[in-house]
Each structure stands twice: as C-alpha cells, then as structure tokens.
Chains A and B, each alone.
Chain A
C-alpha cells in the first residue's frame, strides 16, 4: 500500500512515516503544496494524508487538483484547524476523513485502513487474523467458525487492536478511540481495562489464542507469539 503524506512539520512527518512503515505501507513525504502536486500527478496512491496549512498554500488546493485530474485517491485531512466550516468544506471538496491534531498514530493507522477498505471494497468485507474472522459490515466476529457474542465497543476494540498489530497501544489511545466524539470528555481511562478483559475472555472461551498482551505501565499490544 502506498501512502502520500503531505505535511510540513518534519518531526511529525518522521513519526508518522516511522509508524506506518512497519505495517505493510510504503510512505512518501511531501512537505509543500508544490511537491505534493508533482507527486500526485506522477504516481498513484492508496491514500493521501493531507495537512491544510502548508508553507506555499492551502491544502484544499490538493483536493481541487485531484478532482481536476479525475483521481480517486482516498484523502484524510490531518489538521490543527478544527471548525465545522473547514470540515464541511473539506468533505465537499472530496476528502474522506478528517483527523484533528494532535492525534494518536494508532488512530491514524486504523483510519487509513478503514478508508482503504472502503475504497477497495470488492464484495470482500472479511478481515481475517489466524483463527479470527471479522465481518466489517455486519459487525460480527467468528473464532474457528463460532460466532462470538460481542458488544459494539468490544468489536471496535478488536478492530483497533488487530489494525495496530504488533504495536503498543497506550490506554489513552484506546480510550480515545472507543469514545469517539466524546473523547474530550474523558475523565479517566480505567474503563479500557474492563473492555480488554471482556474481549480477552470471549476470545479465549471461543478457543482463540491469547493475542492481547499487557504492556506494563503503558497499555496493551496485539501480538502473535
């Protein structure tokens, strides 16, 4: 999978590239509007991550350029700008998702995966991990062909963990992901533990391996050992 990151903040770009590179992604970086337009004219990408405030112009230019060139790349806007107007304008110009800075890299990763799944949807909405089968559309999970009784939150948690496999996920990243719009209202992250425990039990009871590892002092990790 090829990703174009358009972001002028070098430090942030490095971290994003570093995080994504380990997960079957090839990441290219453009730090200006000009170089980004060069790249989208010459190559095909699976996903474009777009910052709005660029040194030589406003990120929306990229969306217009894509439209002009009849390109269908999925675009996720990553911006510090957070107003309803910008969001709506972004979506109207063809963006697929909007992530406000600051964000967790794990959150960015699952957003990219979800976008690519939607874009490359070929009647296949099953995500598999060894003995676990996840049906994204009907939101059901099977372990060794046994259907799991799973809550909406646990389903989201499972997708988040598998999407970030082999990565350490902090409790706050999980809590914020599960809270969605309400993340700003989080008082504590303790409820994550309950969800992790329940999911672990359900997977184990269905005969699945124990992939969810606790990382001392930090959070959790989905790992096949």
Chain B
C-alpha cells in the first residue's frame, strides 16, 4: 500500500512516542519508588542508630511505658526474638485520618539493663505515595507534551521541507513531451532537491530534443522523398506512353503505378501527421460538422459503391464544434475511409450525429480489434491490407490535440468509432 511520505515519518514517530511512554512511565514509577524506599529505610536506620547511641544507655525498665507514651514513631516493644534488623510494611490505624495507613517499619533487637527488647522505628508512607504519584504524573505530562510538540514541529517542518519536492512532482505530472510548455521547477536552498531538479531538467531537455529530432526526421524524410517520388511518377507516366509496350509489360507498369500512388499517399499522410503534431493548424472557428459530412458524402458514396458497400447517415442533429476547418475535414474523411476500407463485400456503414458526438459504425471482420494498438501508426489488423495504417493514427492525433475523446467498440459484429466533442 502506498502512502504519503509524511504519513510514513509521522507514523514511525507516533509509534516511537507511544512505545517510549508505555515503557518508560512504569519504569520511572518503580525507579522513583525504590529510590524513595531506600531513602526511608536510611532515615529509619539513622533514627535507630541515634536511639542506640544516645538514648538506650539512659533508659531504665521503668521508663519504657513513658517512652512509649510520648513517642509515636519510635516505640520499645517486648522482645520479638529477632536476631538482626528487619524492614517491613505494616498498616496501622490512624486515629487522625480515621483509617489504616501504610507504614515502613524497622525492628531491631536491643537490651535495656541486660533484658532483651525490640525497637520499632516506623515512617508513614502515605505522603511518599502521594509524592511519587505526583512526580509520576508530572513526568508523564511533560514527556507527552514534549513528544507531541516534537511531533507537530516535525510534521510542519517536513511539510515545509518537502514542499519543493511536491512542486517538482506536480510539474512533472503536468509535463507532456509533445507540447511546447516549459517545465518551471521551483528554486530551493536544499542541495538534494536542487540536484533532483537539475537532473530532471537535464533528462527532459534531452528527451525533448530527441523527440524533436525524431519528429523532424519523419517530416524531413517524408519531404525529401517527394522529389524522387515525383521523378518516379513522371517516369512511369512517360513509360506508359510508349507504343511498343507489350501486354505483359503493361500489367507490370500498371501495378508499379498503383504502388507509386500508394507510396504518394503514405508519404502525404506522414507529412500530414507531422504537420498536425507541429501544430500547423491552430486557427479555430465554429464549424457545422453536418456540412463537412455532406460535402464528403458524394466522394465516399462513390468509393463505397464500387465495393458494394452502402452508407447510411443519420444527420438530423446539427453539431457545432470549435475546431480548425482543415483538421475537422481530415478527421471526418479518415473516419469515412476507415469505415469503407476495413469493410466486407456488400457491407454497411452508419454515420450518426448526436448533439455532442459522431459515431462511424461499419461491418467488418467478425472480431474485435486490438484496442491498445488500434490508434498506433502502422498498426494493421491484417498485414496484407492495402491501407497505409495511418488513418486512425491521424484521427487519434487530431482528437488528442483538440481534446476530443475517441473510443472504439465492437458489438454484434459491428465496429464503432465514436468521437465526443
């Protein structure tokens, strides 16, 4: 699955933040708790040592009850028969707060007048618990704020940093090699993006120049072919005038003549394609498509008639388009020719105009044509066909530069070409 770059970094960042919070918060809690416990234990031990050092020697057995009366947190207990100091937790009832409260306690064995007693030193843990929780909450809040802040800064910074990249991307997406519009890549102060832009500019410049050369080559080649073709044609025209041409030679000359005619048309169509690509036809005007069709109908009726094909028109709707007159004529005539050329004996052609489209349908081979290749130059369904394979390429080119979608469909053995205006 593809996602935006910024999502990827943000996602990683959010994941890291969550993991960090989940792991460090409890760890931090236990660490603080341990530190505090250590601190309390040390305090308890200190108080025990103080007691042992300064108080025990002066105590008599009679003083025990008095001591216990005035000391809340250091008490002298009956001998608990312990040998070493022990630390433990214990709950005591607190009359002030009227509930059990947790205490940390240290019990240590000692002697008063050679009689064993146990010393109990204790500290209330309630305050410490509250403190730990407060510290923990503050820590969690601070960390969350820090991480969230960093996240948003990172997000905004990324958006700002990647802006030139997205601008470049947009430019490349809009770029078309056969159009004259120039690429306007943004200036940035980021070395990597500058490198990227420079590389793209170089790449496009090179490709455009190759494309232009290629286009010029086709045009020049077609143009240069015209003079030898003219000589070829003229020589054949001269040769057929000779009275000593045998029947056999006549047939050869006849087919030569047909071939040179085909060659001429092929060459003219190549030139035409180049001219359309070079945008030689950009003067536009309002055109009534019906008039063009009716003007050409006579010629194509004749062409169709000699192959036994019938043309049927449905031109009740008036279709106005904004186009170049020559291009519109070429578009229609090529659609006409295509429908007649790739037809069957005694076939039919239907021409239908709607409010915003024209449809040429024809009978033909009983299978769909390759939609991918159909509009390519020199793409032929049947390689032995007479056509030069440029008709639909010309149709496509005109439709493309005029922004008219052209489509092909095949239903019930009828091939249909639709141009939407």
Interface residues of A (CB under 8 A from B): 9, 11-12, 15-16, 18-19, 80, 82-84, 101-106, 167-168, 170-173, 176, 179, 182, 184-191, 194, 215-219
Contact = CB atoms under 8 A, between A and B. Distances in A.
Contact of A176 (B235, B254, B261): B261
A72 B231 CA distance: 29
Kindly list the 8 A-B residue pairs having the minimum CB-CB distance in the complex, ordered from nearest: A15-B234, A102-B230, A217-B250, A80-B226, A217-B251, A101-B230, A190-B306, A172-B261
A225 to B, nearest CB: 13
Chain B contact residues: helix, strand, loop or mixed? helix
Contacts of A104: 233, 237
Interface of B: 223, 226-227, 229-238, 240-241, 247, 250-254, 257-258, 260-261, 264-265, 268-269, 271, 275, 280, 296, 299-300, 302-303, 305-307, 326, 333-334, 336-337, 340-341, 386-387
Contacts of A190: 306-307
Contacts of A103: 230, 233
Contacts of B337: 185, 187
Nearest to A104: B237
Contacts of B231: 9, 11-12, 15
Given A11-B234, A219-B254, 20 more contacts: A15-B237, A19-B241, A80-B226, A80-B230, A83-B280, A101-B226, A102-B233, A104-B233, A170-B254, A170-B257, A172-B257, A172-B258, A173-B237, A179-B299, A184-B265, A184-B269, A185-B337, A187-B307, A194-B306, A217-B254
Contacts of A11: 231, 234-235
Contact of B303 (A9, A83, A173, A187): A187
In this complex, the member of A168, A176, A186 whose beta carbon has the largest number of chain B beta carbons within 10 angstroms is A168
A15 B227 contact: no
Contact of B333 (A106, A185, A219): A185
B313 to A, nearest CB: 17
Contact of B386 (A15, A187, A194): A187
Contact of A19 (B238, B334, B387): B238
B247 A170 contact: no
B240 A170 contact: yes
B256 to A, nearest CB: 10
Given A101-B226, A191-B303, A218-B257, A15 B238 contact: yes
